[in-house]
Amino acid sequence: MAEKTLRYVYEGRLERPRPSLRKNGDNAGHSFNDEAIDLRERHHGIIEIESKVPIRDHHILNMLYLPPAALAPSYAAREDPNQVFELTSKGNLVGIITDGSAVLGLGDIGPQAAMPVMEGKAALFRSLAGVEAFPICLAERDPDEIVKRAVAISPSLGGINLEDIAAPRCFEIEEKLKAALDMPVFHDDQHGTAIVVLAAMLNAAKLIRRDLSELSIVVNGAGSAGMAVTKLLAKSGVKDVILCDRTGAIYAGRKESMSRYKDEIAQTTNLQGKQGSIADVLVGADVFIGLSAPNTLTTEIRAHVQNLRPSRFTTRQPQRFVLMLSAFRGMASSLSPVARTLNEVTHRSAGAPDCPKTIRYADRDLIAGR
C-alpha cells in the first residue's frame, strides 16, 4: 500500500503500467473474454471517483474542505434544500442498485459477481449521457430491506436505476421506491427493454404500412422485460397482444402459476381469452417477441416462428439464446440497414462483452424482402 501511495504522489497512478493483450493491435489467440478480464485487471475496474476541482494549493483546500469557507455551501443547503442540486453532484448522480439475482443471462450470481456488470453500466451512463453513476450492490434479497437501504442513501442521489433484480421482487421494489421517493426510479430491465422493442415495432409497422392496432403479437417470458414490453405495447395501441410464461398463455381467470402482477396484466391483454401453449397461440400471429430464459424454444415453437407471416428477424441474449422477433418483410430498426442492428445500448454492459442484451438484425436478405 505504501508503494502504491508513493507512486500515486509522484507518478499520478497507483499501478505500474503494463501492455494489454492487444499490444501492437494484435489480438491473435485471445478471446473477448480474455480481453475483458485483462482490461479490468490492468485498471483494477473501469470507474473511479475524481475531483472536478484539483486541490493544488491551500486556497482550493480551504474552499473545498476546511472551515469556515467550505461550510458556506452546507449553510446554503440547510436554508434552501433545493440548493443541494446546484452546489453538489446530487442532481447528476444515479445509484445503480442491484442484488445480483438476475444478471445478464448469468442468472443469480450474487451482488459481488454482479459488480463488473454494474461498473459497465456506470461507464455507459458517464460516456454516453454525461451522467455520473455508481454501483450499489446489495447483499440483501428482502424487497422491504432493499427499499429501506435505497431510501436511506437517497439524499446522496438524484435518481435510482434498478438493475438485474429478479421478478417479481423487482416490481414490488420499484413500486415502493416510487411511492417513497421524490426522484426518478428507472428499472432498466423493464423500461429500457420495452422502449427499444416498441421502437422496433413502430419502424416495422411503418415499413409494411400497417398500424400497430392491426397486429397480433405474442410475447414469451413473463419476467420484468416481458411484463414491461407487453404493457407498453398495449398502451401504444396494440389491441391483440398475448403474454406467455412457462405454463402457456396468460389470460383472465387462469389459476395456475399466477401472481398479482400476472392477474393485473391479464385484465388488459389477451382480450380474446386464448388458452394453451406458446405454439397454440402463435397460430395466426404476426409477431413473436422472445424475452424468456435461455433454451425454452422447442422444435415445435421454432417451426411456428419460422412460418410466421410473412417474414422474421432475430434477437439474441447471453448464452447465444436465439430469440425470434418476427416482423414482416422489413427491418424493425431505427439504425441504418448497413449496421443491421437495433441496439439497446444501455444493456450492453462492459461486464459481458460478447453477450449484449440487444436486438440484433440477423438476415441481410430480409432488408430487401427476399
pLDDT higher than 90, residue 257: yes
Marked catalytic residue, from 4, 8, 65, 206: 65
Supply the pLDDT for residue 24: 58
3-state secondary structure of 248: strand
Same domain, 207 and 229: yes
CA–CA distances in Å: residue 299 to residues 333, 342, 360: 27, 26, 22
318 part of a folded domain: yes
Q: What does the alpha-carbon distance between residue 324 and residue 290 come to, in Å, rounded to a whole number?
A: 6
Mean of per-residue pLDDT scores for the chain: 81
Same domain, 348 and 199: yes
201 part of a folded domain: yes
Q: What does the alpha-carbon distance between residue 98 and residue 87 come to, in Å, rounded to a whole number?
A: 28
**Residue at 27: amino acid letter:** N
Marked catalytic residue, from 4, 8, 23, 121: 121
Identify the CATH number of the domain in which residue 142 sits: 3.40.50.10380
Residue that is last in its domain, among 183, 200, 233: 183
| Torsion angle (degrees, nearest 10) of CA 170, 301, 317, 260 | 0
pLDDT higher than 70, residue 331: no
**Residue at 35: amino acid letter:** E
* Cβ–Cβ under 8 Å, residues 156 and 85: no
164 contact partners, CB below 8 Å, separation of at least 6: 98, 100, 101, 102, 103, 104, 114, 117, 189
| C-alpha cell belonging to residue 306 | 419460422
4 part of a folded domain: no
Q: What does the alpha-carbon distance between residue 343 and residue 119 come to, in Å, rounded to a whole number?
A: 19
102 part of a folded domain: yes
338 part of a folded domain: yes
* Cβ–Cβ under 8 Å, residues 94 and 125: yes
Supply the pLDDT for residue 26: 58
Identify the CATH number of the domain in which residue 246 sits: 3.40.50.720
Same domain, 199 and 114: no
Burial state string for 35-50 with b = 16 or more CB within 10 A and e = fewer than 16: bbebbbeeeeeebeee
Same domain, 203 and 335: yes
Biggest alpha carbon–alpha carbon distance for the chain = 74
User: Which of the two residues, 157 and 27, has the higher pLDDT score?
Assistant: 157
65 part of a folded domain: no
User: 121 catalytic, yes or no?
Assistant: yes
Same domain, 157 and 213: no
User: 65 catalytic, yes or no?
Assistant: yes
| C-alpha cell belonging to residue 148 | 429501506
pLDDT in tens, 55-75: 999 999 999 999 999 999 999
Same domain, 175 and 266: no
Domain count of the chain?
Answer: 2
Same domain, 229 and 311: yes
285 contact partners, CB below 8 Å, separation of at least 6: 216, 217, 218, 242, 308, 326
| C-alpha cell belonging to residue 32 | 473477448
252 part of a folded domain: yes
Residue that is last in its domain, among 183, 202, 229: 183
Same domain, 195 and 278: yes
Phi-psi sector, 98: left (phi>0), alpha (psi -120 to 50), beta? beta
Q: What does the alpha-carbon distance between residue 217 and residue 239 come to, in Å, rounded to a whole number?
A: 9
| C-alpha cell belonging to residue 58 | 491551500
User: What domain range includes position 310?
Assistant: 191-368
How far does CA 355 lie from the centroid of its chain? 13
Could you please report the per-residue DSSP string of 328-339?
TTS---SS-TTT
Supply the pLDDT for residue 98: 98
Same domain, 161 and 243: no
Same domain, 156 and 220: no
Same domain, 247 and 364: yes
Question: Is this prediction's pTM over 0.75?
Answer: yes
Out of 9-13, 259-263, 288-292, least confident range: 9-13
pLDDT in tens, 109-131: 999 999 999 999 999 999 999 99
Could you please report the per-residue DSSP string of 18-44?
---TTGGG--TT--HHHHHHHHHHHHT
Residue that is last in its domain, among 183, 216, 243: 183
16 part of a folded domain: no
Out of 106-120, 132-146, 291-305, 355-369, least confident range: 355-369
Same domain, 86 and 118: yes
